[in-house]
């Protein structure tokens, strides 16, 4: 039996560390964390909208009275599913890497809300955004709430008597990814440096920074690893992410060198031992980013990438449906 259950809500990791999990970990269903000691609290990430974040804060306050007034919040990276609830803890000091803080202004909630409102006019990209996120989350009341304290390489904090290390490892998933390490509890909150049982999204790269981030976690004395999406894991989950990144890097390189177009390569790479992972349409973004690293000059904007993911997502669904029907025919 798994050590940790993958159920929605607050999970007590012991010694004042908590994880908030949101199955199934797909688009927008992110995890968060709370570190508490001696009346002080550090919240690790908020959620994709205000309702979800308010529910989480309510449960945290029921378990940890000191969380009534959250002293500090760290955003592990700039994506909305880790930051759009920030306004509900706006009296807290909001900490992020400098690169994360800069990136948070690039895709504000207002833009996502406008895209969701007009999704029918936005082609395949609009339809996909609506299907996987827009129809599930509410962005029209989210006010961009930016960090109030930034740092570059690392920042050491004390939460009560507990030492916490914030370590910048980006650009990797995004431009400013940060790991939150609690050495005394052998615990790390990875943000989206770790997706468990789901494909990661290589928005920024370079991929080698992401591999190095995995190596950093593997070098720490940690037992409990809270990913940005998916169930709580340990170093095995970190090793699997590293294996995936090295695998797709090598496979994409071979196809780039052979002159295969990017979206064809995304479909051509066998998913191999990662075939059970969710959100395989992210291969589109991953291969596009790798091609860019390899020297491709093809400019792909976010709408084109979402449109292509939508198309691939539909193909994968049709294939899965066909396989299902086929099995029943026997």
Least Å from the CB of residue 189 to Zn ion: 12
46 binds Zn ion (CB under 5 A): no
Query: What SS3 state is found at 40?
Result: strand
Tell me whether residue 11 or residue 255 sits nearer to Zn ion (CB atom): 11
Mode of pairing for the β-strands spanning 187-189 and 162-168: unpaired
Interaction of residue 97 with Zn ion, rule CB under 5 A: no
| Angle 150-152-154 from CA coordinates, rounded to 5° | 100
In the complex, the smallest distance separating the C-beta of residue 65 from Zn ion, rounded to whole angstroms, is 29
- CA nearest to 178, candidates 194, 159, 199: 194
Stretch that binds Zn ion, among 105-113, 185-193, 198-206, 246-254 (CB under 5 A): 185-193
190-209: contacts with Zn ion (CB under 5 A):
192
| 78 closest CA partner among 204, 193, 177, 181 | 177
- Check residue 176 and report its DSSP letter: T
Q: How far is the CB of 79 from Zn ion (least distance, A)?
A: 5
- Matching residue, tokens 């029918």: 120
Total residue length of the chain = 330
Q: Which range in 73-81, 104-112, 218-226, 270-278 contacts Zn ion by CB under 5 A?
A: 73-81
Q: 242 and 211 in contact (C-beta within 8 Å)?
A: yes
Does residue 177 belong to the site contacting Zn ion (CB under 5 A)? no
CB of 213 to Zn ion, least distance (A): 15
Least distance between Zn ion and beta carbon 294 (Å)? 26
Sketch the per residue contact string, 218 through 257, with Zn ion: x for CB under 5 A, - otherwise.
----------x-----------------------------
Q: Are 143 and 87 in contact (CB under 8 A)?
A: yes
User: What is the side-by-side order of every strand in the sheet holding 187-189?
Assistant: 154-159, 162-168, 178-182, 187-189, 224-226
Strands in 190-328 per DSSP E: 224-226
Stretch that binds Zn ion, among 27-35, 141-149, 177-185, 197-205 (CB under 5 A): 27-35
Q: How many whole angstroms from its chain centre is CA 264? A: 25
Position of tokens 């960090």?
147
Cα 71 to Cα 89: distance, rounded to the nearest angstrom: 9
CB of 85 or CB of 228, closer to Zn ion: 228
Which residue, 181, 301, 179, 182, is CA-closest to 241? Answer: 179
Nearest distance, CB of residue 253 and Zn ion, angstroms: 26
The yes or no reply on residue 76 touching Zn ion (CB under 5 A) is: no
Q: How many residues bind Zn ion (CB under 5 A)?
A: 5
Quick check: bond before 151 cis, omega within 30? no
Q: Which stretch binds Zn ion (CB under 5 A): 25-33, 44-52, 256-264, 279-287?
A: 25-33
List 30, 86, 97, 145, residue binding Zn ion (CB under 5 A): 30
Tell me which stretch binds Zn ion (CB under 5 A): 15-23, 26-34, 131-139, 180-188. 26-34
Residues that bind Zn ion (CB under 5 A): 30, 79, 81, 192, 228
């Amino acid at each position: 039996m798994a050590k940790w259950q993958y159920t929605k809500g607050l999970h007590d990791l012991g010694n004042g560390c908590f994880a908030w999990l949101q199955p199934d970990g797909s688009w927008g269903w992110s995890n968060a964390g709370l570190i508490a000691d001696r009346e002080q609290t550090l919240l690790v990430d908020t959620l994709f909208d205000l309702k979800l974040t308010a529910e989480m804060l309510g449960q945290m306050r029921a378990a940890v009275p000191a969380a009534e007034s959250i002293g500090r919040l760290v955003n592990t990276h700039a994506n909305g599913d880790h930051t759009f609830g920030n306004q509900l803890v706006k009296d807290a000091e909001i900490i992020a890497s400098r690169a994360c803080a800069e990136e948070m202004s690039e895709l504000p909630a207002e833009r996502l809300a406008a895209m969701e409102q007009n999704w029918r006019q936005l082609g395949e990209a609009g339809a996909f955004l609506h299907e996987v996120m827009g129809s599930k989350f509410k962005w029209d009341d989210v006010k961009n709430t930016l960090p109030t304290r930034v740092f570059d390489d690392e920042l050491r904090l004390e939460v009560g008597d507990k030492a916490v290390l914030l370590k910048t490892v980006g650009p990797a998933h995004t431009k400013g990814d940060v790991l939150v390490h609690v050495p005394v509890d052998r615990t790390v909150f990875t943000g989206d440096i770790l997706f468990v049982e789901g494909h990661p999204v290589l928005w920024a790269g370079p991929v080698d920074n992401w591999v190095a981030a995995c190596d950093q976690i593997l070098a720490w004395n940690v037992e409990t690893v809270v990913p940005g999406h998916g169930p709580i894991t340990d170093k095995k989950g970190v090793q699997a992410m590293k294996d995936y990144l090295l695998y797709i890097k090598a496979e994409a390189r071979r196809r780039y060198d052979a002159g295969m177009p990017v979206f064809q390569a995304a479909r051509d790479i066998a998913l191999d031992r990662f075939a059970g992972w969710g959100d395989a349409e992210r291969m589109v973004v991953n291969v596009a980013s790798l091609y860019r690293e390899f020297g491709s000059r093809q400019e792909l904007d976010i709408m084109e990438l979402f449109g292509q993911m939508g198309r691939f997502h539909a193909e994968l669904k049709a294939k899965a449906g066909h396989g299902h029907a086929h099995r029943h025919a026997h």
